[in-house]
Structures are given as structure tokens and as C-alpha cells.
Chain A
Amino acid sequence: MNRWAFYIPLALFALFVGLAGYQLTQPKADEIPSRMVGKPLPAFELPPGRADGAPVTNAAFTDGQPRLLNIWATWCLPCIAEAPHLESLKEAGAPIVGIAIRDTQEDIAAFLAEHGDPYTGIAIDERSSVQLAIGSSGVPETFVIDGQGIIRHQHIGDIRERDVPLILEKLREAGE
């Protein structure tokens, strides 16, 4: 074997150390809350989560009406716990758009049939790409989006009963 070939592992390793060292000195981006708060939604177009639904795009959030954007999944246990509180948010007049992570239309239909359907629209994010772009690191998370498509507030984890008033308040502020 060419004796220079024995240097390949060393070169690859040096590359890794450089990369890891660079990353360590960078401020951590997975810090919660999302750095996207205060910024407009990233551009996206996602396939519908209901068989008879329409695709969901970021443009749908810029019609002047503030909305809640709920990141969830049928395979997520806290999302079941959250379902009744989303229902009460809906009853309080909050329009909720859902993005289901790594999900299928069949699972979504079954989940909604069992736990109630608070959503005005649902999309499927098959590869978590929109979830990551929005700065959400888990399910469930809920964002308050104002009428211009700007992210105003982020709620991490499942919405409990006590969180409902705060979220409604944030939604009202976003409408002002």
C-alpha cells in the first residue's frame, strides 16, 4: 500500500476535531426558547393532514388574523394530554393550525376521531424540516403567530389547563 494512505485516518480525524471545535465555540442553537420568536415564519408548503384537506403554506398566516400553530404528532403521549386544552382554546375562539410530525393521514384521522379535532387546518411534516426551521425541538409545542405571519410567542411542552389564559392573552396581544 502507498505509505501516504496511512495518513488518511489522521487527516479525517483532524477534520472532525476542527469541526467539533468550531461547533463547541458557537452559541448553542438548541437553546429554548426559539430564536425565531419575533421573526416571520420560514417559507414552507406542506401536504394536507386530512384526506379532504388542502396543503398548508406560510402564506396562509399573513391574512391579518392571528393564529395558533400547534406542532404535534399522533405518536406523542403528551399530545393526548394536551387535546382537551386545545379544545378549550378552540372554544375560546382561537384558530389552531396543526403540523403533525412524521405522521400519516390514517393515524391523524384515528387520533382526531378519538381525542377531538380542534384544528382549522392540518399539515404533515414528514421529515421534521418545518419543525426545525421554526425552532421547535420537540412535540408538542405551540406558537402564537400574528396576522403578518410573525412568530410572537412559543409554548414548549404540552399545554396544561393553567396555560390556557396566558396563551389566549398572547393571542389577543398579537392581534393588536
Chain B
Amino acid sequence: MTAEIGLAALWMAAALCMLQFIAGALATRSEGNDIGALTRPAAIVQGLLALTAFACLLWLFAITDLSVKLVATNSHSEKPMIYKLTGAWGNHEGSMLLWVAVMALSGAAIGALEKRLPERTIQAVLAAQGAVGVGFYAFLIGSSNPFERLPSPAAQGAGLNPLLQDWGLAFHPPTLYIGYVGLSVAFSFVVGALITRQVNPDFARAMRPWVLGAWVFLTLGIAAGSWWAYYELGWGGWWFWDPVENASLMPWLAATALLHSVTVLAARDALRTWTVMLGVVAFSMSMLGTFIVRSGVLTSVHSFAVDPERGVFILILLALYIGGALALFAWRASSIAEGKRFAVASRETALVFNNIMLCAILGVVLLGTLYPLMAEAAGDRVSIGPPYFNPVSAVFALPMFAVMAVGPILRWRQDSARRISKGVIVLAAVGVVTALAGALLSDAGILPILGLAFAAVIAVAAVMPLYGRKLSRTPMATWGMVLAHFGVAVALFGMASESGFSKETLAAVSAGESAQIGPYEVTLEGVEPLAGPNWTALEARLSASDGGDAVILRPQSRTFVQPVQTTTESALLNRWDGQLYAVLGQAAGDGRWQLRLWWKPFVAMIWYGSLLIALGGILAAVGHIRRSRRRKALEVRLAEQEADLLLVRRQEEAMA
């Protein structure tokens, strides 16, 4: 019964979505009709229905209802409860339902809460949101029905890909999805503003929380995915430039650019056309990401989600929405009035420069990701890896870091080079000293050393905007920026020291023997079998010592029962100055075991930095929302006072 309720809710939500689209679209066509009034309630009820459908699916997975095809093919009664639930979105159908549910809830939030923009613009925004939604409902109900029943219930479920039975990964896809959907909302705002010709600071302020929110979730999602790849795949790396990783990085790059340009538009009423373009690009990149993951058009480690037929469907959606939006942009962009002008030495210029650098990196990643596709069409097969991505993106990233350091201490609209010269000299000195120290004291390559230098510069620059300010009166959004920029420095420091100073060794040892890695001596004490809830494993007991007390590490090689698959569970030893990373390999046959050991100085900073970045985004979003609330309250109070004055004046007139 639950499955049928879910399906019914889904159909009704789809119908309301259609209504929202049509009503909103009709409302924009002619003045003075009130059909547009339907859009808000339609959006709110649609959100509730989509939520109901998703709750039904969660319930089906929780009770392992094996008469439902999706549950039977993706779950198993022996799985721990948490992975039963995460199994609901660890597959194509469920994840599309999650996507639609989050999107409908965002629409509901706009419908219920957004009061700042002209009503007609909101209706156009909801119409755009409806248009995107209709396509996804059609996709979901037509070709990926999550509630499909089996003719007769299965005896047992097939399980979830064991690589995916992991905390990091359980929350990586939904986090990314929420980010993608947030960008779809930004996209709807852009389309709505283009249709009603309302590209202005109010529009930017209404859109900004969505962009910030999407960006925070994307940041967290990418960090979680990279963390998962780092300790689960057992390759010791944290980023592989795999097409699917790139697919999540590209929307993030576009969202980062959008976030900054929307701030310029909100604060200074400049960069109108550019912001609109970025809004379209950001959502295109998230659709493109979905397309790459689902269609299998590019080969990647994520190929477990592949289905070419679905690829065609997503490509059609992509063509309709992005093609439509780009056509609208081309048609309307020339009618967007030019925003305010600014001097060369100004914060706007720094932001524009970094926007361009971000877009250039986006272009580099996009080209590298799609190049195999183009080459294959020409009959050539190539693979593009770090030798292309690392140096070519660094060409644009390094100047971006330099400008990122200086930008926040520049004033809006116009500033003088002389005013900031002291700050710039301090920053340059920090950079040069760090680079020299790195070059003299280590044998790391040029890129890691530059990375270290820029990390130091950005860390100092990040807190500079606080200089001379009263900390208690500094706006929350400024704190957000400081924290996010500082997070970039921390993450960059982690990346640079991981790539510059990592040590790695491969050893074949029998029990009692040891291997040296970095500051640690690692001794194999023994290998023992172990049984988990739905797996068995070989677990090595390693004692690691850097001269002090020995610490025990237990890397495993796990064999899952349902479905049968072996995964490596690396063991990590966290120290303030780095991580010892151990992977248990195969038995050599003569009593020796393969051990792969890494010492990675400060590698965890990559993820701590990402968390700081996300936290900065949250602070900024909360700060902006609170400020616009206060502004609204102030406006209301001003209006009340004016009314009071008017009343007093009338009374005076009457008395006279």
C-alpha cells in the first residue's frame, strides 16, 4: 500500500507542477489577470506531496519491502538500518526522487517565504521552476518509477554495492544533489528576472541565499566524496580528475563565480549580464554533471550508475532547459540595462578578475573532461589526467589566489593603490619568505611550494579585512568571508604539503617484521579473520611507533557477501602534523603480506579547510538573511511612522 500511496503522491505532485508552470507562464503573458495567484499554493502543495512520496520510499527501504523492485534490487534484510535508509538514494530511481523532492521543497519555500520581489517576477520564477520540475517528473514516472512492484515478491534483496556502504558516501550524493537543486533555483530566479526584466539588486538579494546554500552543500558534497575516495578506494590519493569528480567540481566553480558576482550585483548594482550568464552556466554544469554520471558517455569509476537510455532522456532535458535559457539570454541580454560603473582599482575589478579566472579554470576542466568525447568522435582514444589538469588549472589558479588575497582589502567602486600598498607589501613579504623557506628546506616541486606560499599569503590576507574594525560590530557576512577565505588557505596548505612532502612505501612483511615510513616504524603483529554484519574480513594488526608509545592500526581487506565484492578498508592514524595511511594488500603466499604505507603531512587540512569554507558560506547566508529581515522590519517601521505623521498632520489641519 505504501508504494501505491507514494506513486499517487508523485503523480499529484507532477500535476501540480504542471499547473504551477502553466499558471506562472500565462501570468507573465498578460497584465492584470489573476491566474498567477495559483502558482504559490501549487508550489507549496507540490512540495508536501513530493516529500510524502520520498517518505514512502524511505519507509519501504526501512521495512525492506521485497515486493518493490527497487528495494529488492538494492537492499537486503541483513544490512544495518542506516544503510537500508541510505540505500533509498544509492540508486538511480531513488536518487532522482530525492532530487525531485528537494526541488519541490525549494519551490515550496519560495512560494511560502519570498516576499521581496515583485509578484510577477516570483510567478515567473515559479513557472521556470515548474518547467524544470515537469521534465524531471516525466523522467521519474516515465522511465525510472521507484515504486514499481515485482509480479511476486523476491525471496531476498540483492544488496547495495558494498563500496557504497559507507558513511562518507551515504551522504555524499544527497549533499551534492541539494547543491545541484539549489543551483536550479538560482537558474529559475535568473529566468524569471530575464522574462520580467527585473535584473537588479533586489533580484540579487533574493537569489543570494539560494546560491550560498547551494554552494555550501556542493562544497560539503565534494569534500565528502573526496574523503571517501581517499580512504575507501585505497589508492592514497584524494583527487583523481575522474570525469565524475570533475562533474561535481564544475558546478562548484561556476557557483563560486556566481556567488561573488551576485554579491557585486546586490551591493553595487554592477555585473548584471554577467550574473545572469553565470546563473545559467551554474545550472548547466549541474545538469551536465548528472548527464555524465548517468549516461556513461565517459568512462569513470562511477560507472555503477550508468544507463545510455537515461542518458538520452537527460540530454533532451538538458537541451530543452539550457538551450531555452541560453536562447532567452541571447534574446534579452542586450536589453538588460548596464549596471553601475567602477574604477580599475576597486573591489569590483578584483571580483571580476577572479570571476574570469574561475571561469577559465571551469573551461580547462570542461575541456579536459569532454576532450575524450571529442577525440573519440574523431576516431582517437585518449585519456586526460593530472599531467594536463594540474599545471593548466594552476596557470589560472595562481593569479586568482593573488587577487583573492588583495581583493577584500580594496574598497568598493574606487580605491587608490597607495592606500593598500602597506598591506600588499606585507602579503608579498609573507609569500616570498614562505616560498624561499620551502625551496631551501625541502625538495618539493615548484607547484607545491607555490601552493604553500599562497596558502600563507591567503591566510594572512583573509584576516586583514578585520584589521581596524570593531570585531563585535563586524557584520556576520564579513565573518563568513573571512572564514571561507581562511578555509581556502587551510585546504590549499593541505593540498600543497600532501603533494609536496608525502612519503610512500610498499613492503612485503611477515609477522614481526617492520617497515619504515616517514617518522614511523610500522610492525606487522599479525593478520586475523574477522566477521562483520554482512561481510568477512582479513584484518592486519600493525603497531606504529615514532619513538614514543606504539599505536595499533587495523587495516582490513573486506569481502562482502551480498553482492560478493572485496573492498579495502584503509587504516588511518591522525596526528596533528599528518596522517599515517595503511592498506593491507594480498598475501604473498610465503607468510608475507603486502602492505602499502603512506605518510601524508597535513593531509587532513584539505577537509578541515573545506569545512571552514562551508561554515563561512553558512555564516554569510545567515548574515544576509538576517540583514534583509532587519531591513524589511525597518522599512515597515518607517512606513508606520510616516503614516503616523500623516495622521498627526491631518489632525492638526482639522484642528486648524
B589 in contact (CB, < 8 A): yes
Query: If the complex has contacts A13-B284, A84-B589, are A77 and B594 also in contact, measured as CB distance less than 8 A?
Result: yes
Number of A-B pairs, beta carbon distance below 8 Å: 85
**What DSSP secondary structure best describes chain B's contact surface?**
helix
B374 in contact (CB, < 8 A): yes
Q: Which residue of B lies closest to A110 (CB)?
A: B506
Q: Which residue of A lies closest to B374 (CB)?
A: A19
Within the assembled complex, what's the spacing in Å between the Cα atoms of A157 and B263?
Answer: 51
Query: If the complex has contacts A14-B323, A114-B506, are A20 and B315 also in contact, measured as CB distance less than 8 A?
Result: yes
Q: Which residue of B lies closest to A10 (CB)?
A: B326
Q: Are B326 and A137 in contact (CB under 8 A)?
A: no
B423 in contact (CB, < 8 A): no
B interface footprint on A8-43 (CB within 8 Å = 1, 0 otherwise): 011001101101111110001110000000000000
Q: Are B381 and A13 in contact (CB under 8 A)?
A: no
Q: Are B308 and A28 in contact (CB under 8 A)?
A: yes
Question: Given A80-B585, A102-B385, A137-B299, list of 8 further CB < 8 A pairs?
Answer: A6-B333, A9-B281, A14-B323, A20-B373, A24-B295, A24-B315, A77-B235, A128-B383
Nearest chain B CB to A87 CB, angstrom units: 10
Query: If the complex has contacts A16-B370, A19-B373, are A6 and B308 also in contact, measured as CB distance less than 8 A?
Result: no
> Which of these, A3, A23, A114, A128, contacts B297 with CB under 8 Å?
A23
B601 in contact (CB, < 8 A): no
Q: Are B326 and A9 in contact (CB under 8 A)?
A: yes
Q: Are B506 and A30 in contact (CB under 8 A)?
A: no
> Which of these, B281, B319, B322, B376, contacts A23 with CB under 8 Å?
B376
A112 in contact (CB, < 8 A): no
B2 in contact (CB, < 8 A): no
User: Contact residues of A with B, CB < 8 Å?
Assistant: 1, 3, 6-7, 9-10, 13-14, 16-17, 19-24, 28-30, 77, 80-81, 84, 102, 111, 114-115, 127-129, 132-133, 137
User: Contact residues of B with A, CB < 8 Å?
Assistant: 234-235, 277, 280-281, 284, 291, 295-297, 299, 308, 311-312, 315, 318-319, 322-323, 326-327, 329-330, 333-334, 370, 373-374, 376-377, 381-383, 385, 387, 506, 508, 568, 583, 585-586, 588-589, 594, 596
Query: If the complex has contacts A9-B326, A9-B330, are A17 and B315 also in contact, measured as CB distance less than 8 A?
Result: yes
Nearest chain B CB to A34 CB, angstrom units: 11
Q: Are A3 and B334 in contact (CB under 8 A)?
A: yes
Contacts of B281 in A (CB 8 A): 9
Q: Are B508 and A7 in contact (CB under 8 A)?
A: no
Nearest chain B CB to A109 CB, angstrom units: 13
Contacts of B318 in A (CB 8 A): 17
Q: Which residue of A lies closest to B366 (CB)?
A: A16
Within the assembled complex, what's the spacing in Å between the Cα atoms of A84 and B594?
Answer: 12
Contacts of B583 in A (CB 8 A): 77
Contacts of A29 in B (CB 8 A): 376, 381
Q: Which residue of A lies closest to B291 (CB)?
A: A20
Q: Which residue of A lies closest to B327 (CB)?
A: A10
Query: If the complex has contacts A6-B333, A10-B330, A29-B381, are A81 and B586 also in contact, measured as CB distance less than 8 A?
Result: yes
Q: Are B299 and A30 in contact (CB under 8 A)?
A: yes
Q: Are A13 and B326 in contact (CB under 8 A)?
A: yes
Contacts of B284 in A (CB 8 A): 13
Within the assembled complex, what's the spacing in Å between the Cα atoms of A19 and B387?
Answer: 25
Query: If the complex has contacts A3-B334, A24-B315, A77-B583, are A132 and B323 also in contact, measured as CB distance less than 8 A?
Result: no
Contacts of A127 in B (CB 8 A): 387
> Which of these, A17, A77, A80, A132, contacts B319 with CB under 8 Å?
A17
Q: Are A132 and B312 in contact (CB under 8 A)?
A: no
**What DSSP secondary structure best describes chain A's contact surface?**
helix
Contacts of A81 in B (CB 8 A): 585-586, 594
Within the assembled complex, what's the spacing in Å between the Cα atoms of A23 and B484?
Answer: 40
Q: Are B297 and A20 in contact (CB under 8 A)?
A: yes
Q: Are B382 and A132 in contact (CB under 8 A)?
A: yes
Which of A13, A28, A127 has the most chain B CB within a 10 Å cutoff? Answer: A13
Q: Which residue of B lies closest to A4 (CB)?
A: B330
Q: Are B508 and A114 in contact (CB under 8 A)?
A: yes
Q: Are B322 and A6 in contact (CB under 8 A)?
A: no
Q: Are B506 and A9 in contact (CB under 8 A)?
A: no
Within the assembled complex, what's the spacing in Å between the Cα atoms of A30 and B583?
Answer: 29
Q: Which residue of A lies closest to B386 (CB)?
A: A102
Within the assembled complex, what's the spacing in Å between the Cα atoms of A165 and B482?
Answer: 64
> What are the 5 A-B residue pairs with the smallest beta carbon separation, nearest first?
A81-B586, A10-B326, A3-B334, A6-B330, A6-B333
Nearest chain A CB to B301 CB, angstrom units: 10
> Which of these, B234, B291, B296, B387, contacts A77 with CB under 8 Å?
B234
Nearest chain B CB to A175 CB, angstrom units: 29
Which of B312, B326, B333, B583 has the most chain A CB within a 10 Å cutoff? Answer: B326
Contacts of A129 in B (CB 8 A): 382
A and B contact pairs by CB, cutoff 8 A, 18 listed: A6-B330, A6-B334, A9-B329, A17-B319, A19-B370, A19-B373, A21-B312, A23-B373, A23-B376, A24-B308, A24-B311, A28-B296, A28-B308, A29-B376, A77-B583, A77-B585, A81-B585, A111-B506
> Which of these, A7, A22, A80, A133, contacts B377 with CB under 8 Å?
A22
Nearest chain A CB to B435 CB, angstrom units: 27
Q: Which residue of A lies closest to B586 (CB)?
A: A81
Within the assembled complex, what's the spacing in Å between the Cα atoms of A24 and B334?
Answer: 35
Contacts of B296 in A (CB 8 A): 28
Within the assembled complex, what's the spacing in Å between the Cα atoms of A157 and B308?
Answer: 25
Within the assembled complex, what's the spacing in Å between the Cα atoms of A77 and B299?
Answer: 21
Contacts of B291 in A (CB 8 A): 20
Contacts of A14 in B (CB 8 A): 323
